């Protein structure tokens, strides 16, 4: 069956290519296929939302949650309009939406993001899933390896799919989650600062990665990842700190600003 998700302010191309997720690919104009939570979906862009194509009815609640169908972006954007820079950023990409991704996959994916670019991260994850995940019947897609899958994988095996020095960090995360030292279910319930301190216990997880995981994997929208692009934005536009209109939604503001500045810079380079 096909199922329409009514959620305005979403553009699949922008949302899937802004650096928050790595498992979606364009099939044709307006249609994308992807995997999350061991589920496959084919999505089609609509004017006021998206359609899940040939979807199992039992999977609909998962994807409604994944796409944050209940998030009131109109109110958030109205607040952001109080700031001229943020207004320019969301006007540039009004359909950008923060996804609610599976926490363990998000943790491992962003550990791999260290000193990496989106294209390369996507390729590494694709090879990792193909090598260590399981094929989803009827598709050419694979599940993301689960904790037990990783426990049977050696550091050299991980390095063979391109993780490099990050393999050690990935395995440390897996061991800490498996042992319960890092409890992802409990992190979901924690307030932001305590949740962040838990993730920082993992070798190789610093402030930026912890904030990415909290924002994209746990939907803690006050998390504000700072990479080189955002640091430039802060220095140029917000030397005295972020405006009050973003309070509680700093992470959503960050993603608008990140995508806006990075994309504009790439366009300038192409024009030269």
Strands lying side by side in the sheet with 24-28: 3-6, 49-53, 39-46, 31-36, 24-28
| 119 backbone dihedrals φ, ψ, rounded to 5° | -60, -45
Q: How many other β-carbons are positioned within 10 Å of the β-carbon of residue 93?
A: 17
Q: Dig out the tokens for 247 from the structure.
A: 């309070």
Between the CA of residue 47 and those of 56, 66, 202, 209, 261, what are the distances in Å? 23, 19, 42, 34, 26
Report the phi/psi class of residue 182: left, alpha or beta, with left for phi > 0 and alpha for psi in -120 to 50. beta
Q: Active site includes 208?
A: yes
Q: Which residue do the tokens 């050419």 mark? A: 140
- The burial class, CB within 10 Å (0-12 / 13-18 / 19+), for 28 is exposed
Task: From the candidates 176, 196, 208, 220, give the one annotated as an active-site residue.
Answer: 208
**Catalytic annotation, residues:** 208
């Amino acid at each position: 069956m096909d199922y329409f998700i009514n959620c305005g302010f979403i553009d699949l191309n922008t949302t899937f290519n802004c650096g928050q997720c790595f498992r979606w690919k364009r099939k044709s104009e307006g249609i994308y296929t992807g995997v999350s939570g061991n589920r496959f979906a084919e999505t089609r862009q609509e004017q006021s939302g998206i359609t899940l194509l040939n979807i199992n009815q039992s999977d609909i609640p998962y994807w409604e949650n994944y796409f944050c169908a209940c998030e009131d972006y109109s109110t958030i954007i109205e607040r952001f309009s109080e700031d001229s820079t943020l207004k320019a950023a969301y006007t540039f990409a009004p359909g950008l939406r923060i996804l609610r991704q599976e926490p363990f996959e998000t943790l491992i994916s962003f550990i791999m993001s260290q000193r990496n670019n989106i294209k390369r991260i996507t390729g590494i994850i694709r090879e990792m899933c193909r090598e260590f995940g399981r094929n989803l019947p009827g598709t050419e897609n694979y599940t993301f390896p689960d904790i037990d899958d990783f426990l049977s994988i050696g550091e050299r095996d991980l390095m063979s799919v391109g993780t490099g020095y990050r393999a050690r960090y990935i395995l440390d995360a897996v061991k800490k989650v498996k042992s319960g030292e890092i409890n992802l279910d409990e992190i979901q319930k924690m307030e932001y600062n305590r949740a962040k301190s838990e993730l920082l216990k993992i070798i190789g997880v610093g402030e930026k990665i912890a904030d990415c995981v909290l924002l994209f994997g746990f939907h803690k929208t006050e998390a504000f990842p700072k990479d080189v692009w955002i640091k430039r934005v802060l220095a140029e536009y917000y030397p005295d700190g972020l405006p009050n209109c973003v309070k509680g939604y700093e992470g959503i503001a960050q993603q608008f600003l990140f995508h806006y500045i990075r994309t504009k810079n790439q366009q300038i380079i192409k024009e030269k």
